[in-house]
Amino acid sequence: MDTQIITKLQTLAESAKYDVSCASSGVDKSNKGGLGNSAACGICHAWSSDGRCISLLKTLMTNDCVYDCAYCINRSSNDIRRESFTAEEVATLTIEFYRRNYIEGLFLSSAIEKNPNYTMEKILKVVQLLRHQHKFFGYIHVKGIPGADPALIRQVGLLVDRMSVNIELPTRESLRLLAPQKNPEKLFDPMRQIKDGILQLKDDRMHFKHAPAFVPAGQSTQMIVGATDDSDKTILETTEKLYKAFDLKRVYFSAYVPVNEGSLLPSIQLAPPKLREHRLYQADFLLRFYKFSASELLGEGEHNFDLAYDPKINWAFKHIEQFPMEINRVSVEELLRIPGIGTTSARRIMRQRKVVTIQYDDLSKMGVVMKRAKYFLTCNGKFYGDKAMSVCGIKTALNPPSPYNQMSLFA
């Protein structure tokens, strides 16, 4: 392969590693006689050196950005090597890598080259080449560029599986401070357009079986954690609003990696707040699958998650009067609030309860994590925890390891 293209790829793939909104899911599209297919969750993933999950061909179209966002390695004021792919180069790389079995799909992001329309046009050209010329049916996820012409977004949306528009920071104030060239209103325009397009498609599909698909795997976004003083509560409330307003598939969180110096930024020596990112992901799961609201997880006067315990057990500590719950009587919504019971085990318990009374020994077989759950439930009226039902007692029993120590593999 052309060494010039490989050099470009090295630079642009490196620049792309800060974008974490690359996981694929929720698409199951058949191959119509071309290359590849995108069965659900079928895209190849890899783990980058800093522990992030990335798809193998994850690259930027360009890192030659005209914007100057304070937190970003690609900002215009940084003196870094600048590279730009042509659309033909990205399409050829994707096909070459696919044929060599390196990848199953493409995640294409981009800095703003010249202006939003110019950048979006280049991305459109890539997907047109892949879909029409190379007949590539594999998974394609691209970045929607805020400020680009809606007609371009629409054309791209008709060809790709997923789009993401990264809002990066959770409030207007933070955006104004660190990314003053980004207009918060314009950030939401493409999200709204994608949501409306997906709804329209659903409607069309009810009348016309072969209506063209529009962003069938949905849209996602990313927020940086720790670049500003925004609390977990602010981030989680914005997350909740985004899910409601734009029907997002996922909100990704990215622990801020200090790459630039600046009076508005955290110290360059600080380690990325990975555990905080992890707690936000746990809270995000509680919003999406456990019917929690942001205000329940972090209430009045609470700003950040306790790093020592996960958000669900923390919620249980705050509402200890609601426990223990009787496993054979409570509703599925209540089951989901018991620490140690997940969506699958709750479903199994509900199914089993229809035919037989559940015994304590059945619970671990159903996937309940008894180490935690035993303090929060009774089975046929009997409490099995070895500590009294008090927050202190349970905390002592659970004895969480320090968040800053490596957990034992054998604990």
Pick the binder of ligand SF4 from 11, 21, 55, 74 (CB under 6 A): 74
| Choice between 178 and 248, CB closer to ligand SF4 | 178
Question: How many chain residues touch ligand SF4 (CB under 6 A)?
Answer: 9
| Whole-number Å distance between alpha carbons of 295 and 232 | 11
Pick the binder of ligand SF4 from 17, 75, 122, 249 (CB under 6 A): 75
111 binds ligand SF4 (CB under 6 A): yes
The least CB distance from residue 198 to ligand SF4, in Å, is 24
| Choice between 56 and 112, CB closer to ligand SF4 | 112
140 binds ligand SF4 (CB under 6 A): no
Residue 376 near residue 324 (C-beta atoms within 8 A): yes
Pick the binder of ligand SF4 from 16, 69, 215, 394 (CB under 6 A): 69
| Choice between 9 and 60, CB closer to ligand SF4 | 60
- Mark the segment that binds ligand SF4 (CB under 6 A) among 50-58, 71-79, 80-88, 243-251: 71-79
The least CB distance from residue 72 to ligand SF4, in Å, is 3
Q: Quote the radius of gyration of the chain (alpha carbons, Å).
A: 24
| Whole-number Å distance between alpha carbons of 93 and 322 | 57
H or E stretch covering 107: strand 105-109
**Residue 272: C-alpha distances to residues 174, 227, 276 (Å):** 18, 9, 9
DSSP 280-324: HHHHHHHHHHS---HHHHS-TT--S--TTS-HHHHHHHHTGGG-S
The least CB distance from residue 178 to ligand SF4, in Å, is 9
Interface map 276-305 toward ligand SF4 (x if CB under 6 A): ------------------------------
Looking at residues 164 to 183 of the shown chain, list those that interact with ligand SF4 (rule: CB under 6 A). Answer: 179
Q: 147, 16, 18, 22: which is closest to 71 by C-alpha?
A: 18
| Choice between 168 and 310, CB closer to ligand SF4 | 168
Sheet hosting strand 325-326, strand order edge to edge: 325-326, 377-379, 382-383
| Choice between 70 and 316, CB closer to ligand SF4 | 70
Nearest 10 degrees: Cα torsion 125, 128, 131, 133: -90
The least CB distance from residue 124 to ligand SF4, in Å, is 18
The least CB distance from residue 150 to ligand SF4, in Å, is 19
| Whole-number Å distance between alpha carbons of 265 and 364 | 47
Which tokens in the block code for residue 308?
């020592």
Residue-level length of the chain: 411
235 binds ligand SF4 (CB under 6 A): no
| Choice between 84 and 345, CB closer to ligand SF4 | 84
The least CB distance from residue 70 to ligand SF4, in Å, is 9
| Choice between 146 and 311, CB closer to ligand SF4 | 146
Looking at residues 49 to 68 of the shown chain, list those that interact with ligand SF4 (rule: CB under 6 A). Answer: 65, 67
Pick the binder of ligand SF4 from 112, 153, 167, 227 (CB under 6 A): 112
Residue type, 339: P
222 binds ligand SF4 (CB under 6 A): no
| Choice between 114 and 303, CB closer to ligand SF4 | 114
Going through 8-88 in order, the beta strands assigned E by DSSP cover: 45-47, 53-55, 58-60
143 binds ligand SF4 (CB under 6 A): no
DSSP 142-195: EE--TTS-HHHHHHHHTT-SEEE---BSSSHHHHHHH-TTS-HHHHHHHHHHHH
72 binds ligand SF4 (CB under 6 A): yes
Three-state SS for 94?
helix
Q: Which residues bind ligand SF4 (CB under 6 A)?
A: 65, 67, 69, 72, 74-75, 111-112, 179
